[in-house]
Amino acid sequence: MALVESVAGWVPPWRVTNDELPAHWGVDDHWVRTRTGIAARHRSGPGVSTGDLAYAAARLLLERAGHPRVDALVLATATPDHPCPATAPAVAARLGLGSVAAVDVSAVCSGFIYGLACAQGLVAAGIAERVLLAGADTYSGWLDPDDHRSGVVFGDGAGAALVAAGPAGAPGELLGFDLGSDGTGHDLITVAGGGSRARSARGPAAPGDGYFRMRGGAVYQQAVERMTASCRALLAKLDWDPGQVDHFVPHQANGRILSAVAERLGIDPARCVTHLDRVGNTGAASIPLALADADARGALRTGDRVLLTAFGGGLTWGSAALRWAGPAAAAGGSAASAASARSAASAAGSAVSDGIPASRTTASRTTAARPAAAALSEELS
């Protein structure tokens, strides 16, 4: 069986509130909050890439876990450092993981769920005892500066999780998945330029082809319908009643989408884990960031039933269920984890090695002592 041992999250330090959005967008705090539920988002700034964010989140997690052996790295992202090669091998090298298997997964905002399934498969096949899974995106560099509808929603961030072999019934056990896609809707969420389709066309690229585009109304409808259906299929497979879900963690796309899916499933809104109000839609990073934040606040307990779901471009969607690991499943010793967390807290706002600025971050109690984790989490409040 595969277990989710621990999680951690990292966002860049540049925080942009609704009041700080570009004036020419013609939006204010009330407009953004009522339509999206978002109060702020974080931007990477010049010279900082998706690989940098993934490295920062993964390094934080490994430090707190006592640097356990990792046999593979899976990176879920829609904003890779380059079209070629994949970003994961470079991140693995920076982390000092040696010649481990490393691969990118591209399922846009569904990437972390797909990455979890890949990590479980590597463990189940006996290829890896422990997989480092990262979800990271830097949407700020892909957004049209004149497109306020996407600009108010997306932020940059990274989350990481350790997925390891373990006994059935143990805390952290991944219990099941539901995955799907519909390529007939591929044009609803796109970056038209940069791939072989655009390169094969004659003539210059169309203006704006390098920017992220989303048909909001159609995406909203598809997201609600697909995530609801996926969750229902997985709940039926597990023989869970919606009332048995302790924590519902949907991809943090939009506050209205989160509420609509929870309502259709019959899940109490109080059990819906929400983090987008502070960081926006961070793509493949949104679920691990939300989990890390909830855990740092003490909202998750060992053995809690957790339901994850996401929807992204492709179109892709997926759901996963697990029992939360809790502090007993930490890979490293508590003293080392607490020291690491204190070190990270004191470093916030300053520079760390490799030119990556330290950030305000969320942290998991599965890898850090509660007081230090709480202090880190509160920096995003």
Amino acid at 177: F
Q: What is the DSSP letter of 189?
A: E
**Catalytic-role residue among 251, 254, 272, 275:** 251
- Asked if 96 contacts 67 with a C-beta cutoff of 8 angstroms, the reply is no
Q: Classify strands 130-138 and 72-76 as parallel, antiparallel or unpaired.
A: parallel
**Catalytic-role residue among 148, 231, 275, 281:** 281
Distances from the Cα of 157 to the Cα of 10, 201, 224, 338, angstroms: 6, 33, 23, 23
d(CA 307, CA 309): 7
Look up 281 and say whether it is catalytic.
yes
Structure-block tokens of residue 166: 């373990």
Q: Quote the strand ranges of 324-371, DSSP E.
A: none
Torsion sign across C-alpha atoms 295, 298, 299, 303? positive
d(CA 246, CA 307): 8
Structure-block tokens of residue 342: 């204190």
**Catalytic-role residue among 42, 109, 231, 254:** 109
Look up 109 and say whether it is catalytic.
yes
- Asked if 310 contacts 250 with a C-beta cutoff of 8 angstroms, the reply is yes
In the chain, the largest separation of any two C-alpha atoms, in whole Å, equals 61
- Asked if 27 contacts 194 with a C-beta cutoff of 8 angstroms, the reply is no
> What residues contact residue 109 under an 8 Å CB cut-off, 6+ apart?
78, 251, 253, 281, 283, 284, 286, 310, 311, 312, 313
Look up 18 and say whether it is catalytic.
no
User: Tokens 């493949």 identify what position?
Assistant: 284
> What residues contact residue 60 under an 8 Å CB cut-off, 6+ apart?
8, 10, 160, 344, 361, 363
**Residue 265 CA from chain centroid, whole number:** 22
Q: What is the DSSP letter of 194?
A: S
User: Tokens 């997690």 identify what position?
Assistant: 61
Structure-block tokens of residue 311: 């929807």
d(CA 318, CA 81): 25
**Residue 203 CA from chain centroid, whole number:** 37
**Residue 255 CA from chain centroid, whole number:** 16
Catalytically annotated residues = 109, 251, 281
